[in-house]
Amino acid sequence: MNERPKSITVVCWFLIIGGIFSLCSMVWIFNNPAIQKPMKELMSKNAMPISIQYAMMFAGLLITFICSIAMLKRQNWARILYVVWSIIGFIISITTSPMKAMMIPGIILFLIITFFLFRPKANEYFKA
Structure confidence by residue, pLDDT tens digits, 2-61:
799 999 999 999 999 999 999 998 888 888 888 888 888 888 888 888 888 889 989 999
CA 44/CA 23 separation, integer angstroms: 21
pLDDT band for 1, please (50, 70, 90 cuts). low
Q: Which pLDDT score, from 0 to 100, does residue 20 have? A: 95
Structural domain boundaries of the chain? 6-127
CA distance 23 to 123: 30
Listing DSSP states for 14-41 in one string gives HHHHHHHHHHHHHHHHHT-HHHHHHHHH
Q: What is the mean pLDDT of residues 56-78?
A: 95
Query: Cα angle vertex 111, ends 25, 29, to 5°?
Result: 10
Higher pLDDT, 35 or 69: 69
| The predicted structure's pLDDT at residue 44 | 85
